Amino acid sequence: MKTECRKRTSKPTDPYAPVLYSHHSISELRSKLSCGELSCTDITNGYLLQIERKKHLNAFIEVFGEEALQRARTLDQKKDHPTSWGKLYGVVIGIKDVLCYKDHHVGASSGILKGYTAIYNATAIQRLMDEDAIIIGNLNCDEFAMGSSNEHSVHGRVLNAIDESRVPGGSSGGSAVAVQADMCMVSLGSDTGGSVRQPADFCGIIGMKPGYGRISRYGLLAYASSFDQIGIFSKNIDDLAQVLSVIAGQDAFDSTCSSAAVPDYTTEINPEEKYRIAYFPQSMEHPSLDPEIKKNIQDWMGEMKAKGHSIEPVDFEYLDHVVPTYYVLTTAEASSNLSRYDGIKFGYRTSQKTESLNELYKKTRSEGFGKEVKRRIMLGTFVLSTGYYDAYYAKAQQVRRLITDKTNSIFSQYDLIVMPTTPATAFKFGEKSNDAVEMFLGDLYTVYANLAGIAAISLPLFKHSNGMPFGVQVMSDRLQETKLLSFSTQAMKS
Ligand code: GLN
């Protein structure tokens, strides 16, 4: 993209304000860097200043300021040789506190990992670095990515920048707010049941999780391994496509990661193609759906039809089963994954005197984990226990199979599925924190994609009369992210 290049003449009073608002995409940033209007140091300073200004939102746990500037200065040394620039040269990125960044603290916003430092890079982080991105800090989230409001973090809650009395969503609340409030250009989160799409919806930005196996999970602290995927937050589809192209693809360190070739999503996007789209009448008629969200999405579906896409109802009889199935299976996997945090191998250990190893485990885990994580470990242990296994865990696996079969049959006839992202807009702090079931039910529309392992994106197309933004969710089959991004590009333009 060609953008006008302006040399800065006078010294502005706020030296970095023009930096932040001078580019709206990675491509624009690249043009500004190549004509010398900006340097990587300018960019980094601009975001660091904004992070300082928006500190009260509590999105960042730690800012790697000096180090990011040092890296920017190193990158600036090759400023006159654009052919040597990586694909993400100078792009400032924030990462959720569940991604290992070598020699930096990683803690899943939990007390149990207090003092723990990553000893290797997550594959996704390594790939960002290899393409000259600048990692600016790690971002607050719900403890071990369990939650929908970012109220369960040892570092305190994150505020929604549009209305600070409301939650940013969760669990990747810090990652969403960091992009929402221009504290970095793009950010990474993780999505086990909606943790990228739901906060993106609540904050008015784009959030996408690719299909299961598209991005390596190596170096992602596990919540529920058969559901977890790294996801991306951005303000436009092109940035998201660029980052996805870099971080997706086979990895020898993760055998669940697909060996399928990774397209260059930025060039493969087709802004003209018409798609066959399905929607579930059960999702639009659900009693928990806010009538205003329903109306906006219905009208929007009409517009998409008028633009030449086909949109048809498809019966999906499992909608009321997705939340229970998700919570049985993910808590079971979590109870197993989180058993490694015992006070011996990582992070926190109780300082109380203990008489036995068992007591040390018990005290450490009782003190180190927060309430929500303990609830889920107990629930997961229960559904896996002798006498209950068949009734809960095995049954939920069977339901997951039915959901997957149904999904495969839908994608044999349709390219995409559309659904609301959330039943309601961002709620006030404290409004749901005493009612776990109500909080869980808010995941109605997002957990389906993780159960089926398909790709999903939330597009920030609407504004509610209560002043809050909301999105629509679009899903494609696994490894069909190009279709998803092509349609999203069209939808974002309309
Ligand atoms: N809100 C969901 C949960 O609490 C999703 C979490 C996630 O995707 N990590 O489990």
pLDDT in tens, 441-468: 999 999 999 999 999 999 999 999 999 9
From 171, 227, 445, the mutation candidate for ligand 1 (largest count of ligand atoms within 8 A of CB) is 171
Bridging pattern class, strands 92-96 and 206-209: unpaired
Q: Which residues are catalytic?
A: 96, 171, 195
Give the residue whose CA is nearest to atom 4 of ligand 1: 147
Select from 494, 490, 488 the least CA-distant residue to 205: 488
Give the residue whose CA is nearest to atom 5 of ligand 1: 193
- CA of residue 381 to ligand 1 center, whole Å: 18
The atom number, within ligand 1, closest to the CA of 198 reads 1
Whether residue 13 is contained in a domain is answered as no
Check if the beta carbon of residue 177 is closer than 8 Å to that of residue 198.
Answer: no
Q: What is the pLDDT of residues 339-349, one digit of tens each?
A: 999 999 899 99
Instruction: Find the residues whose C-beta lies inside 6 A of ligand 1.
Output: 145-148, 171, 190-195, 223, 330, 443
Give the residue whose CA is nearest to atom 10 of ligand 1: 146
The atom number, within ligand 1, closest to the CA of 147 reads 4
Select from 242, 233, 250, 235 the least CA-distant residue to 267: 242
CA 252 – CA 8 distance, rounded (Å): 47
- CA of residue 115 to ligand 1 center, whole Å: 25
Show Cβ contacts of residue 485 under 8 Å, excluding neighbours closer than 6 positions: 237, 240, 241, 244, 265, 269, 457
Question: In this predicted structure, what is the pLDDT of residue 10?
Answer: 45
Question: In this predicted structure, what is the pLDDT of residue 2?
Answer: 45
For the chain, which ranges sit under pLDDT 70? 1-18
Whether residue 359 is contained in a domain is answered as no
Whether residue 287 is contained in a domain is answered as no
The atom number, within ligand 1, closest to the CA of 450 reads 8
What CATH number has the domain bearing residue 177? 3.90.1300.10
Whether residue 487 is contained in a domain is answered as no
Whether residue 212 is contained in a domain is answered as yes
CA distances from 258 to 100, 126, 130, 409, 468 (A): 21, 18, 21, 21, 37
Question: In this predicted structure, what is the pLDDT of residue 19?
Answer: 72
- CA of residue 129 to ligand 1 center, whole Å: 28
Select from 208, 279, 291, 229 the least CA-distant residue to 483: 208
Select from 46, 51, 64, 57 the least CA-distant residue to 106: 64
Q: Is 338 exposed, middle or buried (0-12, 13-18, 19+ CB in 10 A)?
A: buried
Determine the angle formed by the axes of helices 237-247 and 26-34, rounding to 10 degrees.
Answer: 80
Q: What percentage of the chain's residues is helix, strand, coil (to nearest 5)?
A: 40, 15, 45
CA distances from 100 to 120, 121, 146, 256 (A): 7, 5, 18, 18
Long-range Cβ pairs for the range 346-354 (8 Å, 24+): 346/112, 346/113, 346/116, 347/107, 347/112, 347/113, 347/114, 347/115, 347/116, 348/111, 348/112, 348/113, 348/114, 348/115
- CA of residue 142 to ligand 1 center, whole Å: 9
- CA of residue 330 to ligand 1 center, whole Å: 9
Q: What is the pLDDT of residues 113-167, one digit of tens each?
A: 999 999 999 999 999 999 999 999 999 999 999 999 999 999 999 999 999 999 9
CA 134 – CA 156 distance, rounded (Å): 26
The atom number, within ligand 1, closest to the CA of 446 reads 5
Check if the beta carbon of residue 188 is closer than 8 Å to that of residue 175.
Answer: yes
CA 383 – CA 445 distance, rounded (Å): 23
Question: In this predicted structure, what is the pLDDT of residue 23?
Answer: 79
- Overall domain count for the chain: 1
- Nearest-5° angle of CA 234, CA 327, CA 424? 50
Whether residue 392 is contained in a domain is answered as no
pTM to 2 decimal places? 0.96
Bridging pattern class, strands 92-96 and 186-191: parallel
Whether residue 42 is contained in a domain is answered as yes
Whether residue 343 is contained in a domain is answered as no
CA 157 – CA 58 distance, rounded (Å): 7
DSSP-H helix ranges across 57-147: 65-76, 123-130
Range of the domain at 250: 26-268
